[in-house]
């Protein structure tokens, strides 16, 4: 993700949805803003989920 984390969503056998994330790098606010703008300009990366 643009803010330096990798994340995933999983659903367990009981129907509970879990969000898991892991920090990959520390991103300063200025760089985060640049990455956010680039992500918005590139369009949708993956289709919306059916939750």
5-40: per-residue pLDDT in tens?
A: 889 999 999 999 999 999 899 989 999 899 889 888
Distance CA 18, CA 30 (A): 30
In a domain, 48, yes or no: no
In a domain, 37, yes or no: yes
pLDDT band at 45 (very low <50, low <70, confident <90, very high): low
Q: Which long-range contacts (CB under 8 A, 24 or more apart) does 35-43 make?
A: 35/2, 35/3, 36/2, 38/2, 39/2
- Structural domain total, the chain: 1
Global pTM exceeds 0.75: no
In a domain, 24, yes or no: yes
In a domain, 26, yes or no: yes
Q: Give the range of the structural domain holding residue 12, as residue numbers without chain letter.
A: 5-42
CB-count burial class (<10 Å; 0-12, 13-18, 19+) for 27:
middle
In a domain, 47, yes or no: no
In a domain, 51, yes or no: no
pLDDT of residue 30: 92
Distance CA 40, CA 33 (A): 11
Q: Residue 43: CB partners within 8 Å, gap ≥ 6? A: none
In a domain, 34, yes or no: yes
Residue with the bigger pLDDT between 21 and 1: it is 21
pLDDT band at 42 (very low <50, low <70, confident <90, very high): confident
């Amino acid at each position: 993700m643009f803010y330096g984390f990798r994340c995933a969503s999983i659903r367990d056998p009981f129907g509970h949805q879990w969000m898991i994330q892991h920090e990959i790098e520390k991103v300063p606010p200025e760089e985060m803003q640049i990455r956010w703008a680039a992500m918005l300009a590139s369009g949708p990366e993956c289709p919306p989920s059916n939750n």
